[in-house]
Chains A and B, each alone.
Chain A
Amino acid sequence: DAGITQSPRHKVTETGTPVTLRCHQTENHRYMYWYRQDPGHGLRLIHYSYGVKDTDKGEVSDGYSVSRSKTEDFLLTLESATSSQTSVYFCAIGTSGDNEQFFGPGTRLTVL
């Protein structure tokens, strides 16, 4: 998985609780992305980062926040989880000057 790890790999939580997912890379890539995967929708971009402390919204950013304090780590936070955020979350990394993106193994999140 191109030097990308995600933690936790599985999580079950209750509605209204905060949740943080972590993406860690060892490739020193500039770009990092968070996507969610739901049946019938493919993968949809939540937020992304184009450098340390530089982040921007994707198409489904409501209810999510992100932070990137160092190159290798990109955190996705659900401030107050809802059942609609039950999904599989994937982190991806990419370099500037090249469109290729490489994906991590994913985190399966269930919000009860």
Chain B
Amino acid sequence: QQQVKQSPQSLIVQKGGISIINCAYENTAFDYFPWYQQFPGKGPALLIAIRPDVSEKKEGRFTISFNKSAKQFSLHIMDSQPGDSATYFCAASMRSNDYKLSFGAGTTVTVRA
């Protein structure tokens, strides 16, 4: 069973708009929640990550919001640019399980100029 559920499957946003991707998890033992960005033909690249003791983390135009009680976290892409068009994956892992990542199914983001 998929331990991390991601939505939407795809989204289209205008240049300068905000992209929002949501993920939900079941296992409260997860202690690390990364987001990966993947371009066609490339491997996933670590974009930003958060730990459950923090409710928000911002790096440039990318922000993770984390809601521990709801077991949900989301990625916000502010001022979306055509270069942000990619597939984004949320994931979760725990130190006690050899850091194995459980991935969401992915969201394809298209930014229209």
Contact = CB atoms under 8 A, between A and B. Distances in A.
A19 interface: no
Contact of B100 (A40, A42, A45, A90): A45
Contacts of B44: 43, 90, 103
A50 B97 CA distance: 11
B49 A90 contact: no
Nearest to B100: A45
Contacts, number: 59
A31 interface: yes
A42 B101 CA distance: 11
A31 B98 contact: yes
What bracket does the count of chain A residues touching chain B fall in? Answer: 20 to 34
A28 to B, nearest CB: 16
Interface string B96-107: 001111011110
What bracket does the count of chain B residues touching chain A fall in? Answer: 20 to 34
Contacts of B2: 42
A51 to B, nearest CB: 10
A99 B46 contact: no
B87 to A, nearest CB: 9
Interface of B: 2, 4, 6, 31-32, 34, 36, 41-46, 49, 89, 93, 95, 98-101, 103-106
21 contacts: A1-B43, A31-B99, A33-B100, A41-B105, A42-B6, A42-B103, A42-B105, A43-B89, A44-B103, A48-B98, A50-B98, A99-B93, A99-B99, A100-B46, A100-B49, A101-B34, A101-B101, A103-B44, A103-B45, A106-B41, A106-B42
